[in-house]
Structures are given as C-alpha cells and as structure tokens.
A and B are shown apart, each in its own frame.
Chain A
Amino acid sequence: MTRALYHLVRADFLERVRRYSFLLTLGFSVYLGYAVYSGQVTLQLDKYRGVDNSAWLGSVVGMVGSVWLSLVGFYIVKNAIQRDRQTRVGQILATTPISKGFYTLSKTLSNFAVLAAMVLVLALAAVIIDLSHSGAAHTDLFALLVPVLIFGLSSVAVTAALAVLFESLPMLRGGAGNVFYFFFWTALIASGAIAMENSKSSAAAHPFADYTGLVTMLTQMQAQLHGLDPQYNGNASFTVGGLNPTTKTFLWTGIQWSRELLLSRAVLLGFALVLALLAAVFFDRFDPARTGWPSAKSAKPTKKLKAGRTASNGIAEQNGHDLPQGQQAVPTLTPLLRAESNSGWGAAVHTRFFSLVAAELRLQLLGHRWWWYAIAAGLFIGCLASPLEVARSGVIVFAWLWPVLIWSQMGTREEQFSTGSLVFSAPRAVPRQLLALFVAGVLVAALTGGGLALRLIIAGDFAGLAEWAAGALFIPALALALGVTTGSRKFFEALYTAWWYVGPVHHIRSADFMGTTAQSSTPAVYLAAAALLVAAAYAWRRVRLAYA
C-alpha cells in the first residue's frame, strides 16, 4: 500500500516538475525572497519595521510566502485530477484496485510535494540572502528557517488538499471554482483577523481561521512592539513597491514557539488529511456518466430527422460490409465553385471575416444554462436602467465579472479541446481567427455591460464612453494574451478576479481598468495596454505556429 502511494505521488510529482512552467514557479519563489530583502515587499507596523536580522527576514519571508503560496499555489496545483482526465490515464487508474480515498490522498500529497518544493526554494533563497547580507557569523538559521518552513509547509498542506477538493466537486472543478477560491481565500484571511480582533489572544487557538499563520506572527510582533513603544497604535500592513517608507525600526527577536502553537500547525496537517479524504466522497472516479455530458444513448432524434431515417437506413443497409464492395454506394457531394486564382480565394476569405466573428461569438455563448443568459440580460438592463453613477460605479463592475469564464477560454480552446490542427491548417487562420476571437470577446463585454454604453451615449458623456470602451477592449485583450501565452484559463481567472477586486471594486486609480469613477479612470493607459496585449497574443501565436 505504501509502495503504491509512493509511486502514485512520485509519478505525478515528476510529471509536473519536468515541465518548464515548474521552473518558472521556482523562479517566482526566489523572486519572492528577493522582493522581501530588497524592500519591494515590506511589512510595516505603523511607522516601524524590524531591524534587518535573521528573525525579521525569516518571519516576513514566512508570512509573505505562506500567504502568497496559499493563493497562487492553489492555481498552480489545481490540475492534478484534470491532467489524469485529459491524458486518459485516469481511465486506467479507475480500473485498478486503488480506492477513491487513496487516489485523492495521493493527489493531495503530490500537490503538497510541488508546493513544498516552492517553500523549500523560498527558504533556501532566504538563507542565501541573509548569508550574503549579514555574513555567516550573524545568520541565525533557526530564527530564519523555522517560520518559513513551519508556517509555509502547514499552510500549503491545506492549500494542496483544498485544490483536490475543488477538483472533486463538479461545481468547483472548472473556472467557477477558480473565481470562487479567490473570494474564499480572502474570506479566510479576513476571518483570521476578525477572530484575533474578537479574542485578543493568540491565534494558536484558531488554527483553521489562521491557516496561513499571518495573524499569529503579527500578533507576536505587535505585542513585542507594544512593550517597546506603548504609543504604537496596532496598525500593521504589507506594502508593495516601497510606498510609505518607515521611519523607525525595532528589534524583532523572533517567533515564540509554544507547544500550543506547534500543535495548532500539526492540527492543520490533520485537517488537510481530512479534506483529502472528504474529496474522495465527491470524486467521480473518472466515470464518464458523471461528467455531465449527455450519453449517446439518451439523446432522441428530432421529428424531422425521424422522417429521414428510412432513407438513411437504406444507405446503411446497402453499404453493409456483407455486400460486394463494388456495389456499395456513397452519397455524392456537389463540387464547390472555387476562384481559379489564390488571390481570388483569399479576397473571398477576407470578406467572410464577420461570419467568423459570429461563429466565435456563438462558440463563446453556447453551452450555458438558461439562468446564465437571464442574469447576463439582467445586468445589461441594470446598466441601462440604473442611475448613471450607480451603473458606472456598481452595476458595470458585476456586469464585467459575470462573463469571466467565457473570456478565460479565449486563446485556450484549441489546446483544451485539441482542435488546433483543424483550425490552424485553415488559410490565414492566425490573424483572422485571433482577431475574430478578440472581437467576439469585446461583443461579450457589450452584451453584459452595453447598457452603460447606451446610457453614456444618451447622456452625451463621451469621456465616460471612452472609459467604458477602454474596459471593454482591455478585458478580452488581457484574456486573449494570457490564454494564448499560457494555454490555460486559470491564469486569467485568478489574475482577473484579484485585479477586479483590488481595482474596480475599490476604485483604486492605478488598477481601475473599468473606469468606475472619474477619479480612478485612466482610459488611455488601458486602451494602449489592450493594443499591446492583442499584439503580444498575435506575436506569440505566430511564433508558436511554424507557418503562421
């Protein structure tokens, strides 16, 4: 049993770490350590920051790593079961005696192995940075490494199990789960802070509420700072990019490791195990009957088609393989009229661009349940009927979140469904199909948020219309660029949701691509970015396809 588990985990781990994308994730871990060291990411306690020593570096790297990997790590590993499904290895595994619980546990462990590798690289980066900065004599490996490893490994264990649980639940398996996780994660982080605020005691008593360890570490730091400066107001925040530089320092001596604290981190490992086994309850064991597609036997022919069945069956009978081959008839095809010259054919191709836009739009919009369209229509009407300010700062924000799972498929569909060889062997496929895809994405933005554009036109607010247009162009451009370059929809779903939350929801000027308020709007920036992103998507696809 142990041997089987080892090989399941090993094979999955090796399959992942032998991809170039894994090197990128390790590189990202190193960058995270460097960002803390260089002050690009800093922890501020009001006007204070810690004196540069191993304890401070280890604690801040531990906090940043634990919090960040619990978010980004989820998206990195949430494809373990999907890969087995796509490669059809799952069908082989389903015929073996391994139980569902055993399988979900093995996937959790391989997820954990991948994320643990990132934590270890982060820890190694912290050691190298501290040694080069402080020298061997002043480096305290215990104070440096223990926060990174204990908080990092225990939090990614939960992340690893959550990823498997999400993959096992049909509702959360796809893009909806990717979007939902961001809000789930935000709620978890917030609940830890709220729990601490309410209890005014160590977070060790609330391991589930503080699974990243953020609140535990901050609480100890705040307590130590209070001892040094009773005037300290209790504020604590991470800053990115060196904004609001600190003016004072204090000596942070490191985390006080109590038995309760260590026990709370161990409890998290047990919690991850429970989540892994819970996932087995929902896991479909690669049963195609549970994947949601209608079975071939269940569909009924339409009345019109029933009428034609006799003729069709007649052909089938004639073509039965018992008959001599020479007597088997095949229905004939009408030859197509084709322009003699290539230029004539090419000119015709250009005139049919809008047919392709319509086909791409249909491809994007098909396959949803009725309530998806009802809500989309409601958002359009909401944009149109609400007071202009409400529509601009409120309704449009949701109108342009609703199609996120449509946009996230842009540029990834050919890889996801293995249709690339069919699509890209067509004439001028790269420029035509890519542009048609982008236009279809913009039309989707107009379908849900177009009500606001109409309001702005009626009101004669053309500056507002430009801001709306910037958003409508930027969002599909971002989706297209990320989809084409990564081949995965997850990146857009994660990045867009986080960006949407930080920028348009909070009207932050530098991040508000929807222009939800006049103050936060920078349409020229996003119009330019949209053009650059489309160009980048085109260039990438052209390079990737030898003949483009």
Chain B
Amino acid sequence: MKLEIEDVSKQYRRGVLALRSFSLELKPGVLGLLGPNGAGKTTLMSILATITKATEGRVLWNGADVAANPDSLRSVLGYLPQDFGVYPNLNAVEFLQYLAAVKGLDASTSARRIEELLELVNLTEVRKRPLGGYSGGMKQRVGIAQALLNDPQLLIVDEPTAGLDPEERVRFRNLLSDLSGERIVILSTHIVSDVEATATDIALIAKGSLVAHATPEALLLQVEGKVWEWVVPSADLTQAKQQFLISSTTRRSDGVHARVLGEDPPLGASLASPNLEDAYLYCLSQHRAGATA
C-alpha cells in the first residue's frame, strides 16, 4: 500500500498557485499535515481525494495514476472534508445509508457498519433525530462516520476535530491511532496537539511547498538545544517578541515564562525540552528566512 505524490502543482483561476511541485511518498501510518492558514493543505487534500485535478504532476496509488483511473482510489477512499453539509431531513442512519449506497456497499454490510460507526462516534442515542437538529460537533461526528463507511485504505481527514468538544477530540485521536495500522491516514490540521497525539510522520507545508517531512522524533531532534525558557517581566514582553522567536508564553507570579527558539539564548534563559509546536514554528521560521534570503 503506497501513495506517491510526484511534483504536484495546482494553479487556480486568476493565477493563484496553491501548490508548487509538492512531492511526498506515504506508507501505512498517520501523516500529520501541518501548516499555517492558506498553506495549501486543503488543496492537497482535495487533489488526493479526487475532488480536483492537479495542474501539474501525478498522484499514484499503488503505482497507478489516480488521474487516469480515479475510481481505483475512490473504492478505498474515506474523506472527511473541512467543510461539508448534510441533508437536514434525514437522520444519521438514513444519511449514512444513502452515502453507503453511493459508495456501493450492499445493504447488510452497510447496516452492520452503520451501527458500529454510530457507536464509535457516540451518536447511537441520537441516531433517529433529523440531522437538521444536530449541533456542529454532532454533524462533524457524522462526517467522521461517513468517512469510515467503506473501511478505507486511504483515510483523508481535513481539520477533523474542528467543533468537537475536548472529550470527543481525545476520542477521535484514539480512533485515528487505532485505525492507522493497515491503512494510510492523512490528518490535515493546524492544531499541533492533534498531530502530536496521533501522527507517525509529519509533513510541514507552507505557501504550497513541502517544508519538511520527518518523524516527530526527527523534527524534535532538529530543535534540540534550540529551545529556551526565559522569564521576562511583563513590561518587557513586547520588546522580547520583537527580538526573539517566541513559541509560547505563560504568566506566573515571577513574570512571563517565554519559550524562545533560536541558536543563541537570551541572557538568563535556561535550556528547555522541545515539543512539536516548537519544532513546527522553528521549521516555518527557518523556511521563511530561507525564502526571504
């Protein structure tokens, strides 16, 4: 099982270049796709989900060009778009039955699968309620269920935890981890903690280009010895932010504890253990510095 993205570019009307020669090779596991807003994550997801075609380059599923035969991928694809709708007059079971029919599942298989999925996403109690009365988080869980209807080999989820409460977010993270064994899961998000909890690989994307592709450990290694904890008086924080790259701040009684990223520490700062958010921000800042140079 292999998904190859070869030099994929996507240009929209009016010349907007959303992806530039993007290449990546994926094998079973969870890929966390991280990037700032407008980086091209959703465009990449749409191309991989066969919603739109790449302007240049190829996507290969097990060696076969997806553009030439999209159905070879669609048969094994589960897709949760960032923004999707539901039919408000249908209840969750009816909506999933409809999409199961569209995906080509037979009645008995889909009936069993839908029962399991509703249990999985914690919607069993409200399964007969029209979707028009669902909250945003409940609709999102219906979206997660439909993405898993056909037991996909390639699962693409775009901002899946948006709108979920903390409990459901944790539940979904665990689900993704459990699902990842024999399938490729692509998790696109800008919530670093979601990726930290589930991803076996991370791809950083900015301005349509691949900035880094590595394991979380390798990314963390890049910032090892470059993260500093620095206590700054509140009054000096604005100036400190102009001088240093600060990934986070916490207010305490002795001042603001800032995590500073860089080769050289500020005066009085102590070395800190890096986390994925530090690595993400450091890589992006390096990329921006490189692009500017």
- Tell yes or no: B13 within 8 A of A by CB: no
- B50, B106, B175, B197 — which one has the most chain A CB atoms within 10 A of its CB? B50
Are the C-beta atoms of A359 and B101 separated by less than 8 Å?
A: yes
Q: How far is the CB of A451 from chain B (nearest CB, A)?
A: 27
Identity of the chain B residue whose Cβ is nearest the Cβ of A357 in the assembled complex: B101
- Tell yes or no: A19 within 8 A of B by CB: no
- Tell yes or no: A355 within 8 A of B by CB: yes
In the assembled complex, the Cα of A546 lies from the Cα of B94 at a distance in Å of 28
Which residue of the partner chain, among B49, B126, B130, B171, contacts A425 with CB atoms under 8 Å? B49
- Tell yes or no: A308 within 8 A of B by CB: yes
Q: How far is the CB of B252 from chain A (nearest CB, A)?
A: 24
Are the C-beta atoms of B53 and A330 separated by less than 8 Å?
A: no
Are the C-beta atoms of A319 and B101 separated by less than 8 Å?
A: no
Within 8 A of B (CB), among A319-358: 319-321, 325, 328-336, 338, 342, 345-346, 348-349, 352, 355-356, 358
- Tell yes or no: A506 within 8 A of B by CB: no
- Known contacts A413-B87, A547-B53, A427 near B75 by CB under 8 Å: yes
- Tell yes or no: B58 within 8 A of A by CB: no
Are the C-beta atoms of A417 and B87 separated by less than 8 Å?
A: yes
Are the C-beta atoms of A427 and B74 separated by less than 8 Å?
A: yes
Q: How far is the CB of A250 from chain B (nearest CB, A)?
A: 54
Are the C-beta atoms of B122 and A315 separated by less than 8 Å?
A: yes
Which residue of the partner chain, among A299, A336, A342, A366, contacts B71 with CB atoms under 8 Å? A342
- B119, B120, B138, B143 — which one has the most chain A CB atoms within 10 A of its CB? B119
Q: Which residues of B contact A363 (CB under 8 A)?
A: 87, 90, 98
A-B contacts, CB under 8 A, total: 177
Of B107-115, B219-227, B270-278, the one contacting chain A is B107-115
Identity of the chain A residue whose Cβ is nearest the Cβ of B131 in the assembled complex: A293
Q: How far is the CB of A365 from chain B (nearest CB, A)?
A: 10
Are the C-beta atoms of A328 and B170 separated by less than 8 Å?
A: yes
In the assembled complex, the Cα of A248 lies from the Cα of B285 at a distance in Å of 83
Identity of the chain A residue whose Cβ is nearest the Cβ of B172 in the assembled complex: A330
Number of residues on chain A facing chain B (CB within 8 A):
60
Are the C-beta atoms of B132 and A330 separated by less than 8 Å?
A: no
Are the C-beta atoms of A421 and B84 separated by less than 8 Å?
A: yes
Are the C-beta atoms of B124 and A305 separated by less than 8 Å?
A: yes
Q: How far is the CB of B61 from chain A (nearest CB, A)?
A: 10
In the assembled complex, the Cα of A423 lies from the Cα of B86 at a distance in Å of 11
In the assembled complex, the Cα of A432 lies from the Cα of B75 at a distance in Å of 14
- Tell yes or no: B293 within 8 A of A by CB: no
In the assembled complex, the Cα of A305 lies from the Cα of B122 at a distance in Å of 12
Which residue of the partner chain, among A331, A358, A418, A424, contacts B120 with CB atoms under 8 Å? A331
Q: Which residues of B contact A321 (CB under 8 A)?
A: 166-167, 169-170
Q: How far is the CB of A144 from chain B (nearest CB, A)?
A: 40
In the assembled complex, the Cα of A334 lies from the Cα of B116 at a distance in Å of 8
Cβ proximity bits A515-548 to B, threshold 8 Å, 1 near / 0 not: 0000000000000000000000000000000110
Cβ proximity bits A286-315 to B, threshold 8 Å, 1 near / 0 not: 000000011110110110010011001001
Are the C-beta atoms of A293 and B125 separated by less than 8 Å?
A: no
Q: Which residues of B contact A348 (CB under 8 A)?
A: 104, 106
Are the C-beta atoms of A425 and B51 separated by less than 8 Å?
A: yes
Are the C-beta atoms of A330 and B175 separated by less than 8 Å?
A: yes
Are the C-beta atoms of B101 and A417 separated by less than 8 Å?
A: no
Identity of the chain A residue whose Cβ is nearest the Cβ of B54 in the assembled complex: A546
Within 8 A of A (CB), among B171-218: 171, 173-175, 178, 197
In the assembled complex, the Cα of A335 lies from the Cα of B90 at a distance in Å of 26
- Tell yes or no: A362 within 8 A of B by CB: yes
Which residue of the partner chain, among A330, A345, A421, contacts B79 with CB atoms under 8 Å? A421
In the assembled complex, the Cα of A157 lies from the Cα of B197 at a distance in Å of 59
Within 8 A of A (CB), among B128-153: 128-130, 132-135, 138, 143, 146, 148, 150-151
Which residue of the partner chain, among A305, A334, A429, contacts B112 with CB atoms under 8 Å? A334
- Known contacts A293-B130, A342-B71, A547 near B89 by CB under 8 Å: no
Q: Which residues of B contact A355 (CB under 8 A)?
A: 101, 106-107
Q: How far is the CB of B92 from chain A (nearest CB, A)?
A: 12
Q: How far is the CB of A362 from chain B (nearest CB, A)?
A: 7
Are the C-beta atoms of B89 and A427 separated by less than 8 Å?
A: no
Q: How far is the CB of B171 from chain A (nearest CB, A)?
A: 5
Are the C-beta atoms of B151 and A359 separated by less than 8 Å?
A: no
- Tell yes or no: A460 within 8 A of B by CB: no
- Tell yes or no: A47 within 8 A of B by CB: no
- Tell yes or no: A82 within 8 A of B by CB: no
Q: How far is the CB of A83 from chain B (nearest CB, A)?
A: 16
In the assembled complex, the Cα of A322 lies from the Cα of B138 at a distance in Å of 21
- Known contacts A333-B148, A336-B151, A426-B103, A367 near B125 by CB under 8 Å: no
Are the C-beta atoms of B85 and A308 separated by less than 8 Å?
A: no
Q: Which residues of A contact B169 (CB under 8 A)?
A: 321
In the assembled complex, the Cα of A546 lies from the Cα of B55 at a distance in Å of 11
- Tell yes or no: B102 within 8 A of A by CB: yes
Q: How far is the CB of B93 from chain A (nearest CB, A)?
A: 11
- A308, A362, A417, A423 — which one has the most chain B CB atoms within 10 A of its CB? A417
Q: Which residues of A contact B104 (CB under 8 A)?
A: 345, 348-349, 352, 426-428, 432
Identity of the chain B residue whose Cβ is nearest the Cβ of A317 in the assembled complex: B167
Q: Which residues of B contact A342 (CB under 8 A)?
A: 69, 71-72, 75
- Known contacts A336-B113, A425-B50, A427-B103, A359 near B86 by CB under 8 Å: no
- Tell yes or no: A316 within 8 A of B by CB: yes
In the assembled complex, the Cα of A329 lies from the Cα of B173 at a distance in Å of 11
Q: How far is the CB of B72 from chain A (nearest CB, A)?
A: 5
- Tell yes or no: A433 within 8 A of B by CB: yes
Are the C-beta atoms of A298 and B51 separated by less than 8 Å?
A: no
In the assembled complex, the Cα of A338 lies from the Cα of B120 at a distance in Å of 21
Which residue of the partner chain, among B74, B89, B98, B151, contacts A333 with CB atoms under 8 Å? B151
Are the C-beta atoms of B126 and A312 separated by less than 8 Å?
A: no
- Tell yes or no: B160 within 8 A of A by CB: no
- Tell yes or no: B77 within 8 A of A by CB: yes
Q: How far is the CB of B249 from chain A (nearest CB, A)?
A: 24
Identity of the chain B residue whose Cβ is nearest the Cβ of A333 in the assembled complex: B116
Within 8 A of A (CB), among B42-76: 46, 49-53, 67, 69-72, 74-76
Q: Which residues of A contact B150 (CB under 8 A)?
A: 336
Which residue of the partner chain, among B86, B99, B197, contacts A417 with CB atoms under 8 Å? B86
Which residue of the partner chain, among B72, B85, B90, B170, contacts A319 with CB atoms under 8 Å? B170
**23 A-B pairs whose Cβ atoms sit less than 8 Å apart in the complex:** A293-B133, A295-B133, A312-B122, A312-B125, A321-B170, A325-B173, A325-B197, A333-B113, A334-B113, A336-B150, A338-B151, A342-B69, A359-B98, A362-B94, A363-B98, A367-B90, A418-B85, A425-B50, A425-B77, A428-B71, A428-B104, A429-B102, A546-B52
6 more CB-based (< 8 A) A-B contacts, given A299-B130, A426-B102: A293-B130, A296-B138, A325-B173, A336-B150, A367-B89, A546-B52
Top 4 nearest A-B pairs (CB, nearest first) are A418-B85, A367-B89, A349-B104, A293-B132
